[in-house]
Chains A and B, each alone.
Chain A
């Protein structure tokens, strides 16, 4: 009961050594008190697939995107397969970028379920986007040609 009262007192409150009120942007997450202050910090288990291979793959995609993006626009339109490769690489790059944001902003210790939900939501979104990209490549003129037409419209 007292917890309900402290939680509802969400109005700005003055701190001890300050004259202005403070308001947190987000409410405090679920509080987890795990062990004591004397326990060693938990080290996450190491796995190169999620570590160095992931990093290398991410850089490989980024490097590959440079010629893939510049070439079609420099040389006029190119083969539809190059266009599809550009689209897929762009989606992979976006997926990895979103993954980095999720891992950065939803810490595992504080929000384990939200982290998992966000990761799977991203997977679902990427699947839909890849399907949409496939439909776009098959039914429409291709990414580079579409960009050119819309830009010059």
Chain B
């Protein structure tokens, strides 16, 4: 069965013509069986100022649908959702985890590949850095580590089914942030 595709833009001004009403009833996209029809000659019916109707195969309809879908926008999600401790802390947990694990993976892959990453070399190089760089590096490593560790404790508590309501969520969240700050300072300075 031939499929007829309306080729005028979707938001064109409405044309009060019998041709448009006729065309509207003939929109059929046979996207279910893309290659089952035998192709036949295209015929174009067009009048000046009116839409054109093209007879085409369902294979063309499939291709056209695919092309249309590629241009469709996605509704915003992360950019419009109100910042909340819930999803920010969850995202931060994943980001810190991936960063730390990524560093571990890179280090041991480099070590396996023969790069000069033994502890003596790294300790010597790190010791030679200026104090500010050392401080920044330590903060940059200690903060994600402590955040991820303390937040994972919350996750383990949730896995037992406890403290899953909003009030306790926020309580544990703020407590976790406080303990993270304290532990980071302790790790860096003590």
A: residues with CB less than 8 A from B are 2-3, 6-7, 9, 13, 15-16, 22, 24, 27-28, 31, 33, 35-36, 59, 62-63, 66, 69, 90-91, 93-94, 97-98, 101, 125-126, 128-129, 131-133, 135-136, 139-141, 145-146, 149-151, 153
Q: Can you name 5 A-B pairs with beta carbons within 8 Å?
A: A33-B34, A59-B159, A125-B105, A128-B108, A150-B122
- Complex Cα distance A39/B94, Å? 35
A69 touches B127 (CB 8 A): no
Total interface residues on B, using CB and 8 Å? 46
B: residues with CB less than 8 A from A are 11, 31-32, 34, 62-74, 94, 97-98, 100-101, 104-105, 107-113, 118-120, 122-124, 126-127, 138, 149, 152-153, 155-156, 159
B101 touches A31 (CB 8 A): no
Within 8 Å CB of A98, what residues of B?
Answer: 98, 101
A97 touches B98 (CB 8 A): yes
B70 touches A139 (CB 8 A): no
Within 8 Å CB of B74, what residues of A?
Answer: 24
B104 touches A2 (CB 8 A): no
Chain B residues touching A, majority SS: helix
Within 8 Å CB of B120, what residues of A?
Answer: 149
B104 touches A33 (CB 8 A): no
Contact among B69, B108, B118, B138 with A31 in the assembled complex (CB-CB below 8 Å): B69
- Complex Cα distance A3/B112, Å? 47
A28 touches B70 (CB 8 A): yes
